[in-house]
Chains A and B, each alone.
Chain A
Amino acid sequence: MQPRVVIIGLDGATFQVLDPLMKQGVMPFLARFAAEGTRAGLRTIVPALTPPAWTSLMTGRSPGHHGVFDFFRMDSRDSRLIRFTTSSDVACETIWSAASRQRRRVTTLNFPLMFPAPRIEGHVVAGWVPWKQLRLACHPEGLFDRLRSLPGFDQRELAMDIKLEERATEGCSNPDEYAPWIELHIRREQHWFEILEHLMDTDPSHLTAVLFDGVDKLQHLCWRFIAASPDTEWRESWERRAFELCREYFRRLDGIVELICARAGRDARIFIASDHGFGPTRQVFHVNAWLERQGYLAWADGLEPDARDPALLGVGRVARHTFQMDWTRTRAFATTPTSNGIYINEFPDRPQDEYFAMRERISDELRRLRHPGTGQRVVRQIYTREEAFAGPFSSMAPDLTLELHDGGLVSILPSDHVFSERPTVAGAHRPVGVFLAKGPGIRAGVTSPELSILDVAPTVLYSLGLAVAEDLEGAVPESIFEAGVLESRPVERAAAAGAPVREPAPVAALDADQEAIVMRRLQELGYVE
């Protein structure tokens, strides 16, 4: 019988949250799982952000190689156009495709960067897809209709509603929104489980994976409730309700993980992993406002700083804000509120020395920058693109990536001030997430030294009985396996798979009449002059 592997992704999970919940009896199954298996901190890549981090877990490659740096990407290095990152941008083979290519059946649910869904042997429901388009995110053909016939199927709750997603980073506008928002995520995780359960029962795979992303979203918005001790005195009834619902979310999640493990059976290896850790944040650094003050960025004339809510990060305005800059006078800018990256506008007629000098000058100024209220340095660490993103896609990466002392995200919005405070503590990403493993050959009751997120892909492939491609950057960690496992079946290496290939479909050219109609329509649209 071929080995079976289950991956349970908990987006943004951290032992800082899970350990107290296990100890307090909110997550009893996870406590048993950890006691009977191996646990470790899982260090993520730079930046500690969902799309590049999960892509690194799925490919075993770092962002400079797989080419994913953010939720969004610029159309090209010198473009003002920002577009959504898709699976077509992932330049390395995923474990799903590698397993499928080697005749292992795969089910993968709700992982980012999976749209459009790859044509693998098995099932794909891509994550991070708007609810109206969920049909397009399913593979194979017919899967969406199968799922739609399940009792209680509700695509609006299962998939993404961008307005609701924004709350995770932008916040709720009033206290009444917290409870329904948390309850939505409780229902959503149950919904993903029911789909997984259906596929495990009716059409099982060798590699089964599901991502529960509510952990990340709740921790962003509700950090102060999740990190609070059970005896906290809440001043407002809605706060107590939010606190209780957050615990209920984790209690239900624990139950779901237990049911998945029971379905997988004792002969499956089960891995639980997160893409990054989490911690508190209070400050907002308005990086584009700072760049403007330093003379690197100019907003278009007549643009009013957004003073309505200084804590907003501008997630909903990502595609627009580069058009609000005066491109002739802007030398450095941040394009997205999620990657903490600064791009330098390289003017083609200027010598490259000037680029390096400017990058060093900006880095020096950021290192010296201190918060006026606390006196603390604002930036903990600055990575150049050569340091953080070595590889063939380095040139598409931000020139500088910031790790803020506060651990939070920058704001990209125009602002008349450089710093602001969030009204309450929120959650933000940290570099170390979680890894737990259990099953045949996995050591019991062990805390392993910290692992890399790049180690997960080779470990999964090895556990499926497959060879590990030579270009994978991580390793199969000895620390998680019982004595003799790796000796009895050493890791087999295989040639690198190379980039996924997409063959263009043949399409007929337009005839003259058709082209005239097309051009007229496009002129009406204003797309062509």
Chain B
Amino acid sequence: MTPTSADIEAHVITLLQEIARDWDYAGDIGPGTRLFADLGFESLDAVILGTAIQERYQRPMPFAQLLADIGQRSTPELTVGELVSFVQLHVSQRMVRA
């Protein structure tokens, strides 16, 4: 069955919930959760997560650009909601091109 954008959001959040459980993160994970401040991610964690998401959807996405943009800001941060939006945008763009 073809996943919808809601499926993408559910997948990203489930993925984060799964790995966060492995290191005993007790808080809820939702669109407002911050990857760096709340989950304690370092930049390489975000890179690896991005790679896993690309692998899931078998599509290249410009995560390096996303992280570079975030890195240029005064407070580098990425929320789960922003990440989901980024994935949705690039998945849908690929669909339109295809």
Residues of A within 8 A of B (CB): 75, 79-84, 86, 88, 115-116, 129-136, 144, 148, 155-156, 162-163, 319-320, 323, 502-511, 514-515, 517-519, 521-522, 524-527
Contact = CB atoms under 8 A, between A and B. Distances in A.
Interface string B3-17: 111001000000100
A92 B12 CA distance: 30
Contact of A319 (B43, B86, B92, B96): B43
Interface in B73-88: 73, 78, 81-82, 84-86, 88
A129 B81 CA distance: 24
Contact of A136 (B48, B65, B84): B48
Given A319-B67, A521-B81, 4 more contacts: A115-B51, A163-B42, A323-B71, A525-B85
Given A81-B64, A507-B8, A162 B44 contact: yes
A416 to B, nearest CB: 25
B23 A132 contact: yes
Contacts of A131: 23
Nearest to A517: B85
Given A83-B47, A133-B45, A521-B85, A75 B65 contact: yes
B66 to A, nearest CB: 6
A522 B56 contact: no
A148 B21 CA distance: 12
- Top 6 nearest A-B pairs (CB, nearest first) are A521-B85, A83-B64, A81-B64, A116-B55, A504-B58, A510-B92
Contact of A507 (B2, B15, B19, B84): B2
26 contacts: A75-B64, A79-B64, A81-B62, A83-B64, A84-B47, A132-B41, A133-B19, A148-B22, A155-B23, A319-B64, A319-B67, A319-B68, A504-B57, A505-B56, A505-B57, A505-B58, A506-B3, A507-B2, A507-B91, A507-B94, A510-B88, A510-B89, A515-B92, A518-B88, A519-B89, A521-B84
A170 B44 CA distance: 18
Q: Which of A83, A132, A515, A519 has the most CB of B within 10 A?
A: A132
B62 to A, nearest CB: 7
Interface size of B as a range:
35 or more
Nearest to A160: B44
Interface of B: 2-5, 8, 15, 18-19, 22-23, 40-45, 47-49, 51-52, 54-59, 62-73, 78, 81-82, 84-86, 88-89, 91-92, 94-96, 98
A153 to B, nearest CB: 10
B3 to A, nearest CB: 6
Contacts of B4: 508
Nearest to B71: A320
B63 to A, nearest CB: 7
A519 to B, nearest CB: 8
Contacts of B69: 525-527
Nearest to A162: B44
A67 to B, nearest CB: 14
Given A75-B64, A507-B57, A88 B51 contact: yes
Nearest to A129: B48
A132 B5 contact: no
A81 B41 contact: no
A247 to B, nearest CB: 32
A135 B22 contact: yes
A506 B78 CA distance: 27
Contacts of A518: 5, 85, 88-89, 92
Nearest to A506: B2
Contact of A323 (B3, B72, B98): B72
Contacts of B64: 75, 79, 81-83, 319
A517 B55 CA distance: 24
B31 to A, nearest CB: 9
A503 to B, nearest CB: 6
Contacts of B54: 88
Contacts of A508: 2-5, 95
Contacts of A514: 5, 88
Given A81-B68, A522-B82, A525-B82, A509 B95 contact: yes
Contacts of B71: 319-320, 323
Q: Which of A84, A86, A88, A525 has the most CB of B within 10 A?
A: A525
Given A502-B58, A525-B82, A84 B65 contact: no
A395 to B, nearest CB: 18
A92 B89 CA distance: 31
B56 to A, nearest CB: 7
Given A156-B23, A162-B42, A508-B3, A136 B52 contact: yes
A504 B3 CA distance: 13
A319 B91 CA distance: 25
Given A84-B47, A136-B19, A522 B85 contact: yes
B35 to A, nearest CB: 11
A119 to B, nearest CB: 10
Nearest to B66: A527
